[in-house]
Amino acid sequence: LPLETSMKAAMSLMGSQGIVSATELLLAGAVFCLVFLLIQSLRQRVPKGLQSPPGPRGFPILGNVLELRKDPHLVLTRLSRLYGDVMEVRIGTRPVLVLSGLDTIKQALVKQAEDFLGRPDLHSFHYVTDGKSLTFSPDSGEVWRARRKLAQNALKTFSITPSPRVSSCCLLEEHASQEAEYLVTKFLQLMEEEKSFDPYRYLVVSVANVICAMCFGKRHDHNDQELLNIVNTSDRFAAVAASGNPADFIPLLQYLPSRSMRLFIDFNKSFLRFTQKFVKEHYQTYDKDYIRDITDSLIEECLEKRVVTNLAAQVPEENIVNLVNDLFGAGFDTVTTALSWSLMYLVVHPHIQKRIQRELDQTIGWERRPRLSDRGMLPYTEAFILEVFRHSSFMPFTIPHSTTRDTVLNGYYIPKDRCVFINQWQVNHDEKLWKDPQTFNPERFLSADGTEVNKVEGMKVLIFGLGKRNCAGETIARWEVFLFLTTLLQQLEFSVREGKQVDMTPLYGLTVKHHRCEHFQVKQRFPVKSMN
């Protein structure tokens, strides 16, 4: 019997005979884990001429879980120096392949993309959008490909260029600029009231409002309790969904009380209800001649069957809410985290902030707001954003992959259904790729004369994954970070109150956060003018 089935049967049997002590339950769990481990070791057969990936031995039953309990990205980076770019660890009794090194990761996710296209069937993933999430679903077949293509097409439609049938009020560039402008006003108001502030609490709502506009055609007030309940509890999701969560790999833990897991489940239910309400309203007011937003675009594909390849037929109407849920969820946490780290680096390195502002003054001036078309003319600003991505590595791992079939990578045999961790943090701090990787230095991405971004260097930074499972909204996320950052820095100078410091210690999760800082202050860089 599989371990999970055995555990359920054992608990049912023992429960029928009276109250079972915690010690008896743990002993029973240990016995079943040992039996499962023995069965697994007997099942794995490595073809002749090949070998399994090396890795640390770990403890019986627990594997390497004790080593990985804190900052797994750092622990696995240290272990990769001993065992190489293709390494195997055990979390509980379950083997996990860990890939490091840019070339190795490209080989797996790009050149052998079909072999590594899957998602592992992890316990926590079952609670994301009722187990039907585009991002977290183990499915990697035709239905998944159809849903991903629909999502990408919808994102592209509402990015920059409007069409006659699409509402221009929901385009990314317009709304991101408006929300950034709102933040400028809000931060200045706080300073007029002589209040220092935590920028994250305002950033997260403004960024969420951008994806709200794209998905649902509306923005929320910053005091809207419905939206605040979602964005202010998103850390509950990141804490459990992070790579290496023991409950995903040790079945016994799934039956023990867990506050973090309960909060995770509650968050996912609330988030799903939030998106379901808007999707229901869109079905009731849908007009095929006027596509208002991403939700309308997805409804159109399903109702009008406009996709020539019959993709729409593979995406039933009830799954639209799941697609929207994924797009909305990914659309605010990643961007908010990137912007929050950016402001932290700016106040720690004020000379870098001043250099970005000089570039903005010389290139754009004060007579208009930054646009996406300015990106190529602001190389130092772009280099700064790349260095924030690299140095913070706020996505230390991609969402775990799994192998779809038996395969070979760098001479090592990898069986089907093997869970795979992609260590992006290691790549972004690899001494073979970067000079002084622990130093924050945007100039590493500039050409010798400082007038252009070195695109080859920029492509070495891993933050959104690679290959067919990379972040569908990567381009939009990069654009949004640029628009928010340049609009804020054009008008404001950021600092922290005298005598206060920021804590840059990373806090591990699906996205790595920093300690919140409530001591930010701003200064207006020039009088408010009428802008084009």
Q: Which tens digit of pLDDT belongs to each residue from 85-100?
A: 999 999 988 999 999 9
Residue 532 domain-assigned (yes or no): no
Residues 358 and 215 in one domain: yes
% of the chain surpassing 70 pLDDT: 85
Please check whether residue 529 lies inside any domain of the structure: no
In a domain, 198, yes or no: yes
So what's the pLDDT on residue 157? 75
Lowest mean pLDDT among 275-284, 312-321, 400-409: 312-321
If one compares 237 and 490, the residue with the highest pLDDT of the two is 490
Buried b (16+ CB within 10 A) or exposed e, 40-71: eeeeeeeeeeeeebebeebeebbbbbebbeeb
Is a pLDDT exceeding 50 seen at residue 491? yes
Radius of gyration of the chain from Cα atoms? 24
On whether the CB atoms of residues 392 and 508 are closer than 8 A, the answer is no
SS (H, E, C) 307-333: CCCCCHHHCCHHHHHHHHHHHHHHHHH
In a domain, 62, yes or no: yes
Kind of pairing, strands 94-99 and 419-422? parallel
Beta strands in 76-170 (DSSP E): 86-91, 94-99
Residues 25 and 48 occupy one common structural domain: no
For the segment 23-49, the average pLDDT, to the nearest whole number, is: 63
Residues 29 and 64 in one domain: no
Query: SS3 of 407, please?
Result: strand
Tell me, what's the pLDDT at 257? 83
At 72 the pLDDT is 93
Work out the average pLDDT over 14-22. Answer: 46
Spatial distance between the Cα atoms of 4 and 72, rounded to a whole number of angstroms: 25
As given in the structure block, the two tokens for residue 294 are: 């991403």
Domain check: are 12 and 154 in the same one? Answer: no
Lowest pLDDT segment from 405-409, 474-478, 524-528? 524-528
Are 197 and 339 found together in one domain?
yes
CATH number at residue 150: 1.10.630.10
One domain for residues 135 and 240? yes
* pLDDT top residue among 17 and 114: 114
Least confident of 29-43, 167-181, 450-464, 483-497: 29-43
More confident residue, 206 or 245: 206
The mean pLDDT value for 192-217 works out to 90
pLDDT of residue 267: 86
Whether 245 maps to a domain, the answer reads yes
Are residues 28 and 74 both part of a single domain?
A: no
Highest mean pLDDT among 25-34, 318-327, 481-490, 504-513: 481-490
**267 in Cβ contact with 237 (< 8 Å):** yes
In a domain, 359, yes or no: yes
Could you identify the residue written with the tokens 């260095």?
387
Q: How many domains does the chain have?
A: 2
Q: What is the pLDDT of residue 415?
A: 96
Question: Which residues make Cβ contacts (< 8 Å) with residue 114, sequence separation at least 6?
Answer: 404
Percentage of the chain with pLDDT > 90? 46
Q: Return the ∠ at Cα 279 (arms to 275 and 280), rounded to 5°.
A: 115
Instruction: Describe the crossing of helices 350-363 and 320-348 by its angle, rounded to 10 degrees.
Output: 110
Q: Are residues 453 and 380 in the same domain?
A: yes
Q: Which residue has the higher pLDDT, 235 or 360?
A: 360
Confidence of residue 42 (pLDDT cuts 50, 70, 90): very low
Binding residue numbers for heme: 471
Q: pLDDT tens, 267-277?
A: 888 888 888 88
Same domain, 23 and 88: no
CA–CA gap between residue 30 and residue 398 (Å, rounded): 31
- Which secondary-structure segment (H or E) carries 413? strand 412-414
Q: What is the pLDDT, as a whole number, of residue 309?
A: 45
Q: Is the pLDDT of residue 308 over 50?
A: no
* pLDDT, mean of residues 285-300: 85
Nearest-angstrom CA–CA distance, 242 and 396: 9
Please state, in angstroms and as integers, the Cα–Cα distance from residue 422 to each residue in 18, 316, 352, 405, following that order: 45, 32, 31, 18
- 37/145 Cα distance (integer angstroms): 35
Residue 532 has pLDDT above 70, yes or no: no
pTM for this predicted structure: 0.87
Instruction: Indicate the average pLDDT of the chain.
Output: 84
**What pLDDT does 8 receive?**
47
Model confidence at 123: pLDDT above 90: no
Model pLDDT, residue 230: 83
Domain membership of residue 511 (yes or no) is yes
Tell me, yes or no, whether 87 and 38 share the same domain.
Answer: no
Q: How confident is the model at residue 364 (pLDDT cuts 50, 70, 90)?
A: very high
Same domain, 71 and 24: no
Between the alpha carbon of residue 167 and those of residues 63, 158, 248, 275, 303, the distances in Å are 54, 9, 42, 20, 19
User: Is the per-residue pLDDT at 62 higher than 90?
Assistant: no
**HEC string of 136-157?**
CCCCCCHHHHHHHHHHHHHHHH
What pLDDT, on the 0 to 100 scale, is given for residue 305?
58
pLDDT of residue 13: 36
**With contact defined as beta carbons under 8 Å apart, do 427 and 462 qualify?**
yes
pLDDT at 2 over 70: no
519 three-class SS = coil
Q: Residue 209: which domain range?
A: 44-524
Q: What pLDDT, on the 0 to 100 scale, is given for residue 47? A: 84
DSSP for 219-275 reads: ---TT-HHHHHHHTTTHHHHHHHSTT-GGGT-GGGGGS--HHHHHHHHHHHHHHHHH
Asked if 208 and 357 sit in the same domain, the reply is yes
Structural domain contains residue 374: yes
Are 241 and 510 within 8 A, CB to CB?
yes
State the virtual CA torsion across 444, 449, 450, 452 in degrees, nearest 10: -100
Q: What is the pLDDT of residue 286?
A: 87
Residue 320: C-alpha distances to residues 68, 231, 237, 332, 343 (Å) = 37, 21, 21, 19, 35
Q: For the residues 225-243, what does the mean pLDDT come to? A: 80
Residue 497 pLDDT > 70: yes
User: pLDDT digit string (tens) for 423-473?
Assistant: 999 999 999 999 999 999 999 999 988 899 999 999 999 999 999 999 888
Residues in the chain: 532
Average pLDDT of the segment spanning 163-178 = 69
Annotated binding site: 471
